[in-house]
Structure 1
Amino acid sequence: MIPFEEALARLLATAVPVGPERVSLDDAAGRVLAEDIAAADAMPAFDYSSMDGYAVASADLAGSGPFTLPVRGESAAGRPLPALDPGTACRIFTGARLPPGSDAVVPQEDAARSGDEITVREAPRPGAWVRRRGADLAQGAVALRRGARLTPGKVALAAALDRPALLVARRPVVTVLCSGDELRAPGSPGAAGTVAESNSYFVAATARAAGAAVRVAPFVPDDAARAAEAVSTALRGSDLVVTVGGVSVGDHDVIRPALEAAGVTLDFWRVAIKPGKPLAVGHAELSRGGAVHVLGLPGNPASASLTFVLFGVPLLRALQGDHAPLPPRVVVRAAGSLRRQTGRAEFLRARLEIAGGELVARISANQASGAVTSFAEADALIVVPADRDRIDDGDRLQAIRLAEI
């Protein structure tokens, strides 16, 4: 078995980013930038008021107050800009440009107005309540870097930079292939011993959340020839083929030999993790150049979900050129205890809560590899190092938030 960190590093080392495409801002959220975005102009592009009030020249208010100034003109956002006459104040509103000759704003609550005059008790300091040109970004500064995943805030920044469309990585195409004579579609009739297939729904939803375009292929029966044909079909037009089930060593596990028959080279098989040990990782060379990545997930639901979270999601992010393909880890206090065999890193499903001002991860009672319920209830994975033989209540360990995969 290959250690988890080595297996993940080997997988990501093979990820060559897919090509770019241009999309409108409406379709940009969640995508990965394939270009740097620089500020064509300073941001903001002009000095403006951050308050409703009066623009003044602070030099006109020398000495001790109070000061009385006539009000001349008005500056409103998006309107023509008046100049400030010496010894006067100009009415100004939030977001409006600062009139030439002024260098400070007196908030309206600090000014007593009577007719066309205001009285100010204290002189404002230069720059008071003024947002300066370039305070956010200097002209030419890189605002968004290639490899950044576009959050709503980043999309809004691109809009503020006057960019109606962005160059992003195209969506990697993922084909999901589930195998087993026992599988049937949810809601469809089936013989005794059949089960409603669920793994493809987890993999597809998770892959889409990671930015992929997903195709779910028909179920593959436990027949070697038909399995090889299904794999060959799935490879066409895919960047990643995810098989579920059939990668172990049972008499009816047909996917591993089907992968090899379809021209897939297995880079490694079996990773020292729990659950999910019988993970197969490989690739198929394309006639046009490049390669299709292949992940052979185990069939047990928790194992399939876990291995796709740990390996599939980082791979999809790396294929999009994401500069942070791995999910961040947080330190949590474990709520619960268990004894375990060493030798494999374990990823315990858990629920997060706040207790005593810190993040606590409550270990789920059912950690079975076949438990569909575990990922429905969990929102975090507690990372247990391979050499650790027990977890005690209150231990502090690293965890992965499932919302951040």
Structure 2
Amino acid sequence: MIPFDEALARLLATAVPVGPERVSLDDAVGRVLAEDIAAADAMPAFDYSSMDGYAVASADLAGSGPWKLPVRGESAAGRPLPVLDPGTACRIFTGARLPPGSDTIVPQEDVARSGDEIALREAPRAGAWVRRRGADLAEGAVALRRGARLTPGKVALAAALDRPSVLVARRPVITVLCSGDELRAPGSPGLAGSVPESNSYFVAATARAAGAAVRVAPFVPDDAARAAQAVSTALRGSDLVVTVGGVSVGDHDVVRPALEAAGVTLDFWRVAIKPGKPLAVGRAELSRGGVVHVLGLPGNPASASLTFVLFGVPLIRALQDDAAPLPPRVVVRAAGGLRRQTGRAEFLRARLEVSGGELVARIAPNQASGAVTSFADADALIVVPADQDRIDDGDRLQAIRLAEI
């Protein structure tokens, strides 16, 4: 077994980013930028008012008040721009350009208007309520950097920068291959002892959330030759093949030898984590050039889900050249305790809640590797270092929010 951190580092070091493609902003959320986006013009592009009121020249309000100014003209967003005559005020609305000759906005609630004249008792600070050209971004400044995953806010910024489309990493193609004679599709009839297959649903949904395009292949029976053929087929057109089950050393575990028979070179097998020790990591060199990455996940549902979260998601992000492929960790207070054997890092499924102004992680009572229920109820993974033999109620530990994977 190799330590978790070493295994993850070795995996990500082999990641070969996929190529770019151009997409419209309508399809850009969740994609990873493959280019820097700079401001072609300053943002905002002109001085404008942040209030409804009156544009004035602060020099016209020298001395002691009160002051009376005639109102001449009007500036509204998207309308022709008037020029401020000396000694006058111009009606202005939020978002409207500042008329030449003015430098200050007086909010409408701070004046008394009578006909075409306003009166004010206090002089505003010069430049008040004016948003200056370039206050957000200087001309030529990089607004969005390559490797950023596009959130709704980033897409809106790209639109504000007048970009109808962006260059992003194409979606990595992931093929999911589940093995086992006992598997059947949910809702379909089966022999005694068969089980409805569920792992592919977790892996596919999680991969899509990470930005991948997913294909789910037909189930692979526990037959060495057919498993090797299935792996060979899955490698074609994929950037990553994820197998589920059959990577341990049992008599019916045919996937690991099938990977080798299909030309997959295994980098390592077995990682010092709990659950999920029998994880196979490798890649295949294609005859036409290029590389297909391979993850062989264990078959137990909690183990398969956990290893895909810990290894599959960062790899998918790295294939998109994501600047932050690893999920952030937060500090939580453990609610509940346990004793454990040292030697493997453990990732405990837990529920998060807020108590006393801090995040509390309530450890799920069922941590069995075969428990599908544990990931259905969990929204975080508590990270327990390999050398820690116990968790006490109230201990502070790192955790990974599942919503942020």
TM-score by length of 2: 1.00
Name structure 2 gaps, 5 residues minimum.
none
Counterpart secondary structure, 2:256: helix
Distance 1:120 1:352 in 2: 55
Q: Alpha-carbon deviations, 1:89-144, whole Å to 9, x = none?
A: 00000000000000000000001100000011111111100000000000000000
Q: Alpha-carbon deviations, 1:38-93, whole Å to 9, x = none?
A: 00000000000000000000010011211110000000000000000000000000
Distance 2:121 2:270 in 1: 77
Which residue is 1:4 aligned to? 4
Distance apart, 1:164 and its partner CA: 0.1
Which residue is 2:227 aligned to? 227
Q: Alpha-carbon deviations, 1:279-336, whole Å to 9, x = none?
A: 0000000112221000000000000000000000000000001000000000000000
Distance apart, 1:16 and its partner CA: 1.4
Distance apart, 1:240 and its partner CA: 0.1
Report the aligned-residue RMSD: 0.4
Which residue is 1:249 aligned to? 249
Distance apart, 1:193 and its partner CA: 0.3
Counterpart secondary structure, 2:399: strand
Q: Alpha-carbon deviations, 1:209-246, whole Å to 9, x = none?
A: 00000000000000000000000000000000000000
Distance 1:347 1:387 in 2: 13
Matching of residue 300 in structure 1 with residue 300 in structure 2: yes
Which residue is 1:204 aligned to? 204
Counterpart secondary structure, 1:388: coil
Q: How many residues align?
A: 405
Matching of residue 215 in structure 1 with residue 215 in structure 2: yes
Segment drifting more, 122-131 vs 84-93: 122-131
Distance 1:127 1:58 in 2: 8
Distance apart, 1:384 and its partner CA: 0.1
Identity %: 92
Distance 2:179 2:16 in 1: 28
Distance 1:125 1:288 in 2: 69
Distance 2:324 2:230 in 1: 33
Distance 1:284 1:226 in 2: 18
Counterpart secondary structure, 2:308: helix
Distance apart, 1:177 and its partner CA: 0.1
Q: Alpha-carbon deviations, 1:246-274, whole Å to 9, x = none?
A: 00000000000000000000000000000
Counterpart secondary structure, 1:215: strand
Distance 2:248 2:272 in 1: 14
Counterpart secondary structure, 1:94: coil
Distance 2:341 2:201 in 1: 32
Name structure 1 gaps, 5 residues minimum.
none
Which residue is 1:319 aligned to? 319
Which residue is 2:124 aligned to? 124
Distance 2:370 2:332 in 1: 26
Distance 2:121 2:332 in 1: 54
Distance 1:162 1:47 in 2: 18
Distance 1:73 1:165 in 2: 39
Counterpart secondary structure, 2:177: strand
Q: Alpha-carbon deviations, 1:148-176, whole Å to 9, x = none?
A: 00000000000000000000000000000
Distance 2:28 2:369 in 1: 37
Distance 1:245 1:5 in 2: 23
TM-score by length of 1: 1.00
Distance 2:52 2:285 in 1: 64
Distance apart, 1:400 and its partner CA: 0.2
Distance apart, 1:35 and its partner CA: 0.2
Which residue is 1:44 aligned to? 44
Which residue is 1:88 aligned to? 88
Counterpart secondary structure, 2:150: coil
Distance 1:104 1:14 in 2: 58
Which residue is 1:100 aligned to? 100
Which residue is 1:20 aligned to? 20
Counterpart secondary structure, 2:322: coil
Distance 2:34 2:110 in 1: 49
Distance 1:205 1:118 in 2: 62
